[in-house]
């Protein structure tokens, strides 16, 4: 895993270099999945609106890593995620808090609540956060880019 980790880190460093972004990268192994957190003064540039640029950067890094692993005839591809200055971690914490607050409001008012439009990964985080609730149901409604999460009481 150490060798794969270093190769992926080199791929990310090369991408950042081509983008002329100075950064340092820390790596963490969480149960076989690698997490690379990029620290940089250019975080807004790399994150983009609602994390869209970060998603694209991760997609390209995964494609390049997969190509390298295919060249080396590796059959199991290494799963990894990129983060910029802990954006994803902080966004996840924000979405969990939003889900808890919305759930409390639905329980209190006994009325459905429709959240503002979100991208698919943010909607998924809300759904996952409330999936263990015995008394609530979540569903996505509407069409992109105005797709939203609706939270309601189970009947």
Q: Which residue has the higher pLDDT, 94 or 76?
A: 94
SS (H, E, C) 33-78: EEEEEEEECCHHHHHCHHHHHHHHHHHHHHHHHHHHHHHCCCCCCC
Domain ranges of the chain: 2-85, 90-153
pLDDT in tens, 57-74: 999 999 999 998 888 877
Q: Which CATH class is domain 90-153?
A: alpha beta
- Was domain 2-85 assigned CATH 3.40.50.620? no
Q: Give the E-state strand segments of 76-147 in sequence order.
A: 80-84, 113-114, 136-141
Return the pLDDT at 1.
Answer: 56
């Amino acid at each position: 895993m150490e060798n794969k980790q270093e190769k992926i880190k080199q791929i990310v460093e090369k991408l950042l270099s081509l983008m002329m972004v100075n950064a340092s990268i820390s790596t963490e192994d969480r149960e076989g999945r690698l997490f690379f957190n990029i620290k940089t003064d250019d975080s807004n540039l790399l994150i983009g609106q609602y994390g869209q640029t970060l998603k694209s950067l991760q997609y390209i890094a995964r494609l390049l890593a997969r190509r390298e692993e295919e060249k080396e005839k590796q059959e199991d591809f290494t799963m990894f995620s990129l983060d910029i200055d802990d954006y994803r971690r902080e966004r996840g914490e924000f979405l969990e808090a939003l889900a808890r607050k919305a759930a409390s409001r639905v329980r209190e008012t006994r009325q459905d609540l429709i959240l503002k439009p979100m991208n698919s990964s943010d909607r998924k985080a809300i759904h996952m956060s409330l999936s263990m609730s015995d008394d609530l149901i979540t569903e996505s409604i509407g069409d992109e880019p105005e797709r939203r999460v609706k939270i309601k009481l189970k009947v």
